[in-house]
Chains A and B, each alone.
Chain A
C-alpha cells in the first residue's frame, strides 16, 4: 500500500518536473544552451495565473493567460538574450542565463513583494478516491492527465505538421535545414514559446496545489529540471520525460528512507551524480 502511494506521489511530482524540463530540453536540443532562466517562466506563470484568477474567478482563463504571457516572454528572451551570444563558448550563455534568472527572481520579489500571493478562490481542492485506498486532490489528477494530454498532442504536432517536421529537421542538422528554407529564428521562437508556455502551465498548477505563489518558487524546480535533462541525455525528449518520472519516484522513496541523512534536493543530485559517473552521456542519450 505504502509503495503504491509513494509511486503515485512520485509520478505526480514527476509530471510537474516533466512539464518544466520539456522546455529546457527543447531549447537544449536546438541551441545547445542550458537555459537556467527557464524557471523564471514557471514563476511568471504562477504570478500571471494568480492575478488573472483572482480578477476573473476563472482558472481556465488564468491558465491560458499565463501560457500566452510566458510564451511571448520566452520569445523575447530568445531574441534579445540568447540569439546574439550563440556563437560564444557554451559557458557564456550558461552564465548569462544564470544571471538572468537571479535578476528575474529579484524582480518578482520587488514587484509582487517577498511574502507571496494566494488564490481568492479554492480551485481543484476536492478529493478523489481511486482503487479504494488512494486519495488524490483533483488538482493532482489534473496535473498528471493534463501534462500527459499536452505532451501527447505536442508529439502528434511534431510528427504530423510541416512546422513540427521543420523543428525536428533543425534539431538534427541546422545548416541543412536552413538551406531548405527553414528559418532558424522562427523555429527558435516556436520552441521558446512552447517550452515557456508549458513551464507556465506547471507554474499555475503548482501554485494552485500549494495555494501560494512566491518569488523563489522557481529556484528548486529550475535546478532539478537541469538535473533531469542531464539525466535524460541532454536534448532527448523521450529521455527527459522518463527521467522526470523516475526522479519524482526516486525522490518520494528517498525522502522516506534517506530523509534523516539527505534532504530532498540532495537526494535528487546524489542520484544525478551516481548516474553520471556510471553513464556520463545520461540515461537515454542518442548515440
Chain B
C-alpha cells in the first residue's frame, strides 16, 4: 500500500506540473523549454524554508511567489523575443538555473539539500493533499480556458499580431500566463521536495523540462483532460515496467517524435479523430 500511495503522489505532482506548463504553452502558445527551473525554484524555496523551521504549509505560498516572480521576469523575455527565439531563451534560463544552483554552497551545490523536515502529515494525507491540489489546478485550468482571459490566451496562441491590432494589451496577458503557470510549477516543486525529502540541481535540468513538455505534447497541447491523463500515465510508466524504466528516455524521445510526426494535436486529437471522423482536420 505504501508503494501505491507514493506512486499516486508522484502522479498527482506530475499532473500539477504538466498542467502548469499547459497554461503557458498550451493556452497562451508561449513555448518553454526551461519549465523545470520553476519546479526547482519552488522545491529549493520550500526545502530551504522547511529546514529553517518554517511549517510546510507556509512554505507553499513562498515557493509559489518566488517561482512566479522569476516567471514574470522570463515572461518579459517573451515580450522581447518570439517563437524559436523564445524557445531557446527559455532553454537558456533552464541551464542558467542549474548552472547557478550548482555553484552555490548555500544551496548545497552539486549535492543538493537532503533531510528536508517532515510536513507532519501521514503519507496518505500528503497523497490526498497532492491529489486535491492537482484536481484544483485542473478545475482552475478548465475555468481559465472558458473565461475571457483564456479566450485571449487562445487568440494570442493563434495569431498574436491580430490580437494586438484589436487593441488588446498582449503583454499583460502573456505576463499573466507566465505568472500563473510558473506559480503553479513552484507549488509542484514544493510538493516534490516534500515528497522526496531530497533535491539536487540535476533533477531540474533540461531533461526534466523536456519530460514535462512531452507530457503536455503527448496529451494534446491545450487539452486539460489530455494533459492530465498523459502526465499521470507517463509519470508512472517507468516504475510499472522496469523494462521501460531502463529505456525511459528512449520511450519519451520516441513518443515525442512519433506524436509530432503523425499527430501534432497529441492524444486529444487522436481521440477526437476516432470519435468524430467527420470533423477530420477542421481543428
A212-253 contacts to B, CB under 8 A, are 223, 226-227, 230, 234
Does A128 sit within 8 A of B, measured CB to CB?
no
Residue interface mask B205-226, A partner, CB < 8 A = 1: 0110010011001000000000
Let me know if A84 and B261 touch, CB within 8 A. yes
Please name all residues of chain B whose beta carbon is closer than 8 Å to the beta carbon of A102 when the two chains form the complex: 207, 210, 249-250, 252-253, 256
Provide the residues of chain B in CB contact with A100, threshold 8 Å. 253, 257
Residues of B within 8 Å of A96, CB to CB, are 256-257, 260-261
B85 and A234 contacting across the interface, CB-CB below 8 Å: yes
Using A273-B77, A276-B77 as known contacts, say yes or no to A266 and B247 having CB atoms under 8 A apart.
Answer: no
Q: Which listed residue, B25, B253, B261, B264, touches A106 by the CB 8 Å rule? A: B253
0/1 string, B56-98, CB within 8 A of A gives 1:
0000000000000000000001001101110111011101101
Assuming the contacts A81-B257, A95-B217, A273-B89, asked whether A280 and B81 have C-beta atoms less than 8 A apart, the reply is yes
* Contacting pair B88 A226 (CB below 8 A): yes
A55 to B177 Cα, complex, angstroms: 56
Residue total for A at the interface (Cβ-Cβ under 8 A):
47
Specify the chain A residue showing the minimal Cβ separation from B256: A99
Given contacts A84-B261, A106-B247, contact A90 B99 (CB under 8 A): no
Q: Which of A61-69, A130-138, A142-150, A256-264 is the contact stretch?
A: A256-264
Cα A101 to Cα B252 with chains together (Å): 11
Q: Per-position contact with A for B91-116: 1 when CB-CB < 8 Å, else 0?
A: 11101101110110000000000000
The proximity string for A residues 23-34 relative to B, scoring 1 for CB distances below 8 Å and 0 otherwise, is 000000000101
Which residues on the A side are within 8 Å of B214 (C-beta)?
95, 99
Is residue B31 contacting chain A, with contact meaning CB distance below 8 A? yes
Nearest Cβ in chain B — how far from A233, in angstroms?
A: 10
Minimal beta-carbon separation of B175 from chain A (angstroms): 16
Bound Cα distance from A5 to B264, whole angstroms: 49
Q: Judging by beta carbons under 8 Å apart, are B99 and A34 in contact?
A: no
Alpha-carbon distance A105/B252, docked complex (angstroms): 12
Known: A34-B88, A276-B81. A105 touches B249 (CB 8 A): yes
Residues of A within 8 A of B98 (CB): 265-266
Say yes or no: is B255 at the interface (Cβ < 8 Å to chain A).
Answer: yes
Q: Is the CB of B261 within 8 A of A85?
A: yes
CB distance from A39 to the nearest CB of B (A): 13
Among residues of B, the one whose C-beta sits closest to the C-beta of A269 is: B92
Please tell me if the beta carbons of B88 and A99 are within 8 angstroms of each other in the complex.
no
Is B171 on the interface with A (CB-CB < 8 A)?
no
Nearest to B209 among chain A residues (CB) is A98
B88→A263 contact, CB < 8 A? no
Contact flag A262-B80 (CB < 8 Å), given A94-B87, A103-B257, A273-B93: no
The answer to whether B95 and A265 have CB atoms under 8 Å apart is yes
CB distance from B79 to the nearest CB of A (A): 9
Q: Is B254 an interface residue (CB 8 A)?
A: yes
| CB-CB under 8 A for A85 and B264, given A91-B31, A276-B80 | yes
Chain A residues near B95 (CB-CB < 8 A): 223, 265-266, 268-269
Whether B102 pairs with A263 at a CB distance below 8 angstroms is yes
Residue numbers in B under 8 Å from A97 (CB-CB)? 257
For window 38-68 of A, CB contacts with B under 8 Å fall at none
CA distance A263 to B97 in the complex (A): 10
* Whole-angstrom CA separation of A88 from B264 in the bound complex: 8
Provide the residues of chain B in CB contact with A234, threshold 8 Å: 84-85
B254 touches A103 (CB 8 A): yes
Alpha-carbon separation in the docked complex, A266 to B96 (Å)? 5
Distance in Å from the Cβ of B213 to the closest Cβ of chain A?
Answer: 7
Judging by beta carbons under 8 Å apart, are B260 and A93 in contact?
Answer: yes
How far is it, in angstroms, between the C-alpha of A266 and the C-alpha of B253 when the chains are bound?
Answer: 24
22 A–B contacts from the bound complex (CB under 8 Å): A34-B84, A34-B87, A34-B88, A81-B261, A88-B264, A94-B87, A95-B256, A96-B261, A100-B253, A102-B250, A106-B247, A226-B88, A227-B92, A230-B84, A230-B88, A230-B89, A234-B85, A261-B100, A262-B96, A263-B103, A273-B77, A277-B77
Seen from chain B, the residues whose Cβ lies within 8 Å of a Cβ on chain A are 25, 31, 33, 77, 80-81, 83-85, 87-89, 91-93, 95-96, 98-100, 102-103, 206-207, 210, 213-214, 217, 247, 249-250, 252-261, 264
